[in-house]
A = this chain, B = another copy of it.
Amino acid sequence: MSSRKPALNLSTINPSIINVHYAVRGELALKADQYVHALADKTEEAKSLPFEHVVTANIGNPQQKGLNQVPLTYWRQVISLLEYPDLMNEHLEIAKKIYPEDTIARAKKLYEEIGSVGAYTHSKGVLAIRKRVAKFIEERDGYPSDPESIYLTAGASAGVSSILSIALKKGEGCLIPIPQYPLYTATLAYLDAAPLPYYLQESADWSMDHETLLKAVSEAKTAGTPVKALVIINPGNPTGACLSKEAMEAVVTLCYEESIVLLADEVYQTNIFDPEHRPFHSFKKILKGMKKEIADTVELVSFHSISKGVSGECGRRGGYFECVNIADDVMEQIYKMASVSLCPPVSGQVGVDLMVSPPKKEDASYATWFKETSLIQDNLKSRSNLMAEHFNKMDGISCNPAEGAMYLFPRIHMPQKAIEEAKKRGKEADVMYALDLLDATGICAVAGSGFGQEPGTYHIRVTALCPETAEFVGRFEQFHKDFMAKYA
């Protein structure tokens, strides 16, 4: 036996770590992983499974194996040229047989600006790319954007966690929607900051109710918790709801009146299903359209990503945030913290460039790019609608159709007996449901408790990325029927 006490155990490590929860890749994902490996290796366990493959509907990961969203050809052509610049030099004549002219021109320009993609860049990201991000924002919103206020990041997550860690003192409050993407609660737990939940209205298509928000603010005040920041995810994850202009203006006014910094997670801004009736408005645009006193003072950080949208390039880890009305000396602190992590992945930076500056109509690549992106948009929308329709036909499930993003968040009207059984197993009822669903069908979907929900309600988040929607729905339906019968 050793006489040495380990330096690290659960009681000696940083206690803030223990409080972090992140359901999207937790027990369920680990179990799904096991099944994937068992099926791949054709183990004994695999033979006893009642399904032949795992359907990973738990992560918004469009290019994942089995989901088959094909990467955009234009993106991959430009990036492969940058990765191996000899294709543009000594092998140019051969490369021309494969690569459309505009991809070579684009890659050459990027190469001049960046140099080797294997070198560190400026900690904020390549200036030329930040300039094009600023142009994209200006064209989207109609208001000026400063490249120096834009930071390229390793996906939106890295930006969110960096900004939260700078903005919040221990014990301060951050308003977060419920349901929410668990990055927020995880980061706040790590920072010992207080998540201040405001519930979204399931009965009204997951819309944001201003009274509920005000109530959350006043409750925090009563409890003596300073309200420092407000997170909004628009379009919503997991809800799929798009905010109305009016709701957004009310939020900005609140941030004005209460001196709250607004953190706008706008990573799904391109995934909009009905742009005529429910268009995406950026918070920057709403903010800058309000009266000068508000437009010039309300502090906003807006996050965007290449992981979603039509690119779905999650593995590249690319994104950006834009700071609006943030004080200069705070901007210096943001820069300092960015510099400690050296620079965002260059491949992700290039992705941001391709996202904000896609091929133009006159370019040789345009037709293919348009065809590919349209197909992705159409698939997402039709799968989402079809799934919502089917969920609503199942007894004991109700589901708001999504207006955007890539998820559905159907409500399971949980039988009392299932709730009791879950309690016996030491689990939330929706966690039990999700684990049983996986065991029975191979479908991996995350329980609503991982995102938060009104007490006494139970949900499940599924992605709308699965190509075999009909098969998916069929398996889900059979399981659900059996589950409801079992606990009737």
By a beta-carbon cutoff of 8 Å, the part of chain A in contact with chain B is: 2, 4-10, 12-15, 17-18, 20, 22, 24-26, 29, 33, 59, 61-65, 71, 73, 76-77, 79-81, 83-87, 91, 94-95, 97-98, 115-123, 154-155, 157-158, 161, 165-170, 183, 186-187, 190-191, 228-229, 255-257, 259-261, 293, 296-299, 307, 311-317, 325-327, 329-330, 333, 336-337, 339-348
As for how many copies of this chain the complex holds, the number is 2
User: Separation in Å of the A21 CB from the closest CB of chain B?
Assistant: 8
The residue from B18, B22, B340 contacting A186, defined by CB atoms under 8 A apart: B340
A sample of 13 cross-chain residue pairs with beta-carbon separation below 8 angstroms, ordered by A number, consists of A2-B297, A4-B297, A8-B261, A13-B167, A14-B168, A29-B339, A62-B119, A63-B115, A64-B115, A94-B98, A316-B345, A317-B344, A317-B345
Q: Which residues on B sit within 8 Å (CB–CB) of A158?
A: 341
Q: Which residues on B sit within 8 Å (CB–CB) of A260?
A: 7
CA distance A455 to B167 in the complex (A): 35
User: A183 contacts B340, CB within 8 Å?
Assistant: yes
CA distance A279 to B346 in the complex (A): 33
User: A298 contacts B4, CB within 8 Å?
Assistant: yes
CA distance A409 to B251 in the complex (A): 53
Q: Which residues on B sit within 8 Å (CB–CB) of A191?
A: 14
User: A327 contacts B6, CB within 8 Å?
Assistant: yes
Q: Which residues on B sit within 8 Å (CB–CB) of A256?
A: 4
In the complex formed, the residue of B with least CB distance to A119 is: B63
The residue from B83, B327, B342 contacting A8, defined by CB atoms under 8 A apart: B327
Q: Which residues on B sit within 8 Å (CB–CB) of A297?
A: 2, 4, 6
User: B17 contacts A333, CB within 8 Å?
Assistant: yes
A13-B169, A64-B119 known; A347 and B94 CB under 8 Å?
no
The residue from B7, B18, B98, B345 contacting A91, defined by CB atoms under 8 A apart: B98
Q: Which residues on B sit within 8 Å (CB–CB) of A317?
A: 154, 317, 342-345
Q: Which residues on B sit within 8 Å (CB–CB) of A5?
A: 259
Q: Which of A59, A256, A314 has the most CB of B within 10 A?
A: A314
Q: Which residues on B sit within 8 Å (CB–CB) of A298?
A: 4
The residue from B6, B155, B255 contacting A342, defined by CB atoms under 8 A apart: B155
Known pairs A26-B336, A91-B98; list 5 more (Cβ under 8 Å). Answer: A14-B169, A64-B116, A116-B315, A121-B315, A154-B317
CA distance A8 to B346 in the complex (A): 30
CA distance A123 to B155 in the complex (A): 14
User: A118 contacts B84, CB within 8 Å?
Assistant: no
CA distance A168 to B161 in the complex (A): 19
User: B7 contacts A261, CB within 8 Å?
Assistant: yes
User: A314 contacts B119, CB within 8 Å?
Assistant: yes
User: Separation in Å of the A217 CB from the closest CB of chain B?
Assistant: 13
User: A327 contacts B9, CB within 8 Å?
Assistant: yes
Q: Which residues on B sit within 8 Å (CB–CB) of A299?
A: 6-8
User: B314 contacts A22, CB within 8 Å?
Assistant: no
CA distance A256 to B183 in the complex (A): 37
In the complex formed, the residue of B with least CB distance to A95 is: B98
The residue from B81, B118, B330 contacting A316, defined by CB atoms under 8 A apart: B118
User: Separation in Å of the A71 CB from the closest CB of chain B?
Assistant: 5
User: B94 contacts A87, CB within 8 Å?
Assistant: no
Q: Which residues on B sit within 8 Å (CB–CB) of A10?
A: 329-330, 333
Q: Which of A59, A123, A158, A316 has the most CB of B within 10 A?
A: A316
